[in-house]
Amino acid sequence: MGGHRFTYFCHDDLKLSKLDRFLVCSDFLHFFPNVTVTALPRESSDHCPVLLLTASVDFGPPPFWFFNSWTDRDGFAKVVAIAWLHFQGYGTTDCILVAKLKHLKNKLKEWRASELPKEAEDLTKLRNKERTEIRDGIKKISELEKMISLDLKRKSRIRWVIDGDENTIFFHGYVKNKNMKNIINGIMTNGC
């Protein structure tokens, strides 16, 4: 049932019920498979009028989907302008408008069908190119970092040769000083 969920509303709308129904024979659904029931809005009564429709309502084919992103794509304005200007129809004004919109819809479908594979192909190419560039970039970065580390290693060896053992002398001097402070000269026990 479409419309309201309930058909009976008590005074304060505290009690809601589905009281109103239709009594039909067993072959009814066989003869009317597209039957619909709708609870209409209530005005002054506590019951909603219930409407039984046996005729199916056909609104035609599904609507044409239009995406706003199409307006940003190359060639859209040209397709619309050409389709709109080159259409010729006859009949009443409203029939001409309907036919013109249908013609425009078909032209947009054709344009979209031809452009979609191109966009997918371009996207795939760009993604592959980006992946290749990233791989090449990572390889180049690792090569440059390796060269820099080799240069630093070489520079440290040159500095060691030039400066000598200055760092080693400082370290050994520090350790000797610590050892001197930690030497126990003797232990005093009961004054001895």
User: Three-state secondary structure along 86-97?
Assistant: CCCCCCCHHHHH
Q: Which tokens is 162 given?
A: 């030039």
Is 169 contained in some domain?
A: no
Q: Does the structure show a pLDDT above 90 at 55?
A: no
pLDDT band of residue 179 (cuts 50, 70, 90) is confident
- The pLDDT score that the predictor gives to residue 11 is 65
pLDDT band of residue 66 (cuts 50, 70, 90) is confident
Is 182 contained in some domain?
A: no
Same domain, 80 and 11: no
**Whole-number Å distance between alpha carbons of 157 and 163:** 10
Same domain, 13 and 37: yes
Interval 69-85 mean pLDDT: 92
Same domain, 54 and 95: no
- The pLDDT score that the predictor gives to residue 157 is 67
Q: Which domain holds residue 74?
A: 68-161
70 near 46, Cβ under 8 Å? no
pLDDT band of residue 175 (cuts 50, 70, 90) is confident
Same domain, 38 and 83: no
User: Which of the given ranges, 28-42, 133-147, 166-180, has the highest pLDDT on average?
Assistant: 133-147
Specify the range with the lowest mean pLDDT, choosing from 44-48, 51-55, 154-158.
154-158
φ, ψ for residue 189, nearest 5 deg: -130, 120
Query: Which pairing describes strands 36-39 and 50-53: parallel, antiparallel, or unpaired?
Result: antiparallel
Same domain, 98 and 152: yes
Q: Does the structure show a pLDDT above 80 at 117?
A: yes
Q: What is the pTM of this model?
A: 0.43
Q: How many CA atoms lie within 13 A of 122 on its CB side?
A: 5
pLDDT band of residue 106 (cuts 50, 70, 90) is very high
